[in-house]
Amino acid sequence: MTVSAPFVPGLHLLIDFWECRMPDNPTEIEVALREAAVACGATVLTVELHHFGESGGITGVALLAESHISIHTWPETGYIALDIFMCGRCDPQLAVPVLQRRFRPGRVKVGAHQRGQD
Amino acid sequence: MTVSAPFVPGLHLLIDFWECRMPDNPTEIEVALREAAVACGATVLTVELHHFGESGGITGVALLAESHISIHTWPETGYIALDIFMCGRCDPQLAVPVLQRRFRPGRVKVGAHQRGQD
């Protein structure tokens, strides 16, 4: 008898960074997202970023073969919201120290959610 | 004396859909993401989608002026993972019935997370 393993899509992290060193430009964010993906062994398909003008925030996403990493910055408050969803063998938690090194938050919250479970 | 309101970045929904009517192509997904954004009064900046080949899944994101909507499909299991993060006056919960109408899940789970709060 073969018992198939239950379908587990992956782990989804909601990451709050407060009191950050704010990135000035989208290139700095792209480097951080790519470095975070590599740390997890994930494959980047595309990086899409939008800058809301000088002193405005930056919003963007790295689409991965294993799902995505998103980022949204609020320079006026020092706050950055990230989320990382990765399926397969990749562990999104390996991205957190990379992102911390890049954005130097004074305070961090990481919520971990197993997707596809009741 | 002026008391400023606390900074509240927005609401983040993690949405699991099981037993879905699976979208065949990226265009169908793009229409659904745009319709979901409109339902919330959000502004779409770009939609980025990737199709993992015939009978493979589709992964993608709508970047919004108010953050993002992501989608990842697993056609072989009938499962779709979505997440919606919206800041400002937009309510991401208004997108859920739109996405349900599009993908007809037999079973739904919606987790709601206020971002930027301890």
B51 touches chain A (CB under 8 A): no
- The answer to whether A78 and A18 are in contact (CB under 8 A) is yes
Q: What's the confidence (pLDDT) of residue B2?
A: 59
A17 touches chain B (CB under 8 A): no
Nearest to A17 by CA among A72, A66, A85, A62: A72
* Helices A96-103, A26-39: inter-axial angle, 10-degree rounding: 150
**A97: enclosing H helix or E strand:** helix A96-103
Q: Which residues contact A5 (CB under 8 A, 6 or more apart)?
A: none
Q: Which class for B50: exposed (0-12), middle (13-18), buried (19 or more C-beta within 10 A)?
A: middle
Task: Inform me whether the pLDDT recorded for A1 exceeds 80.
Answer: no
Q: Among partner residues A48, A72, A113, which is closest to B111 by beta-carbon distance?
A: A113
Maximum C-alpha span of chain B: 63
Instruction: Tell me what ipTM this predicted complex has.
Output: 0.93
pLDDT in tens, chain B (118 residues): 556 677 889 999 999 999 999 998 999 999 999 999 999 999 999 999 999 988 899 999 999 999 999 999 999 999 999 999 999 889 999 999 999 999 999 999 999 999 999 8
Nearest to A87 by CA among A15, A17, A35, A13: A13
The residue-averaged pLDDT of A65-90 equals 96
Q: What's the confidence (pLDDT) of residue A6?
A: 78
Spell out the domain ranges in chain A.
Answer: 26-43+68-80+91-109
Task: Inform me whether the pLDDT recorded for A28 exceeds 90.
Answer: yes
Q: What is the DSSP annotation of B59-79?
A: EEEEEETTEEEEEEEETTTTE
B116 touches chain A (CB under 8 A): yes
Q: What's the confidence (pLDDT) of residue B54?
A: 81
Task: Inform me whether the pLDDT recorded for A72 exceeds 70.
Answer: yes
Looking at domain B23-108, its CATH architecture is 4-Layer Sandwich (3.60)
The answer for B39, left when phi > 0, alpha when psi is -120 to 50, beta otherwise, is alpha
- Cα(first)–Cα(last) distance of chain B, in Å? 26
Residues of A with Cβ-Cβ distance to B112 under 8 angstroms: none
| Catalytic site includes residue A12 | no
- The answer to whether A97 and B25 are in contact (CB under 8 A) is no
Task: Inform me whether the pLDDT recorded for A92 exceeds 70.
Answer: yes
Q: What's the confidence (pLDDT) of residue A116?
A: 95
Q: What's the confidence (pLDDT) of residue B107?
A: 97
The residue-averaged pLDDT of A61-70 equals 97
The residue-averaged pLDDT of A17-28 equals 94
Alpha carbon dihedral A15, B42, B32, B46, in 10-degree steps, equals -80
What whole-number distance in Å separates Cα of residue B99 and Cα of residue B118? 30
Structure tokens at B39: 């339902």
Residue A9: pLDDT band (50, 70, 90) is very high
What whole-number distance in Å separates Cα of residue A38 and Cα of residue A61? 15
